[in-house]
Amino acid sequence: MAKKKTLPVIELKGLTKKYGMGDAEQTVLDEIDLQIEKGEFITIMGPSGCGKTTLLNILGLLDRANEGEYFLDGKSVEKMSSSRHARIRSQQIGFVFQSFNLINRLSVIENVALPLAYKGMSRVRRLKQASDSLKNFHLSEREYYMPWQLSGGQMQRVAIARALVNNPSIVLADEPTGNLDSKSSHIIMEELSDIHKRGNTIIMVTHNPDLTTYASRVIHMLDGQIASDTKTPIELVKTAPKVSLASRRPKTTRQTKKSKTKAKKK
């Protein structure tokens, strides 16, 4: 019996996006054809203005194309209503942005719980689910901190916890390490790699060529088109050893005092 062919999770046919009118019209995406299979980790690279973020916004149903077709799980999104798009965003797609987009007047746990409010979930259930999501990123002790009390790396981990609180199958990340130092970037990429290993499809825009080592596929864009599309051999995909984030945290003053007391007793 022939094996049934599975549909790609995302398929684009002749996708075109234009801005402006008349002489000021600019083509940002020029007849993009693309297929993305379930469970891929894709990085999209290219110079500024090549259409990377516009493509990501269309994939995340934050924007619409002018021409062409976009199929999500085999269904045309162009034929769906705006309310249907909103439901898909809240249930199937998680977003991670470079600027974190945390709300400063809300605590960490309230920020993570926010997407659940749109599902009509009770406050108690929202906070419980948000707390569980934060545990996965070793941020339980920061639940009632305010965003401005966190480091850049911690804020991005909160943003990822928020993106995953709905258990989405697709994670879209736009320059998720762009505002971080190299150590924090490495931690975030380990987390995204771990999410990918759980079966999530990840599509990440980046300017950093070093981060492509985590991807199973690398797409380069130029002038609104796909210039190259390369699959990475599985043995070359970076699989950095998973290290507990707790081991990376600096010791608190209390911990340091305990260590000194033990040393004196010896």
pLDDT digits (tens, 9 = 90+) for 13-26: 999 999 988 888 89
- The pLDDT tens digits of the residues spanning 30-40 come to 999 999 999 99
- pLDDT tops 90 at residue 5: no
Note the residue count of the chain.
266
Better-predicted residue by pLDDT, 136 or 107: 107
Q: Collapsing DSSP states into helix, strand and coil, what is residue 239?
A: coil
- Partnered with residue 171 across adjacent β-strands are 94, 202
Farthest CA pair distance, the chain: 81
Q: Contact 172/150 with Cβ under 8 angstroms?
A: no
Q: How far apart are CA 173 and CA 98, in angstroms?
A: 8
Q: How far apart are CA 9 and CA 199, in angstroms?
A: 13
- The pLDDT tens digits of the residues spanning 178-210 come to 888 888 888 888 889 988 998 999 999 998 898
Confidence (pLDDT) at 8:
92
Residue 85 vs residues 11, 75, 80, 109, 153: alpha-carbon distances, Å: 16, 12, 7, 26, 30
Confidence (pLDDT) at 237:
62
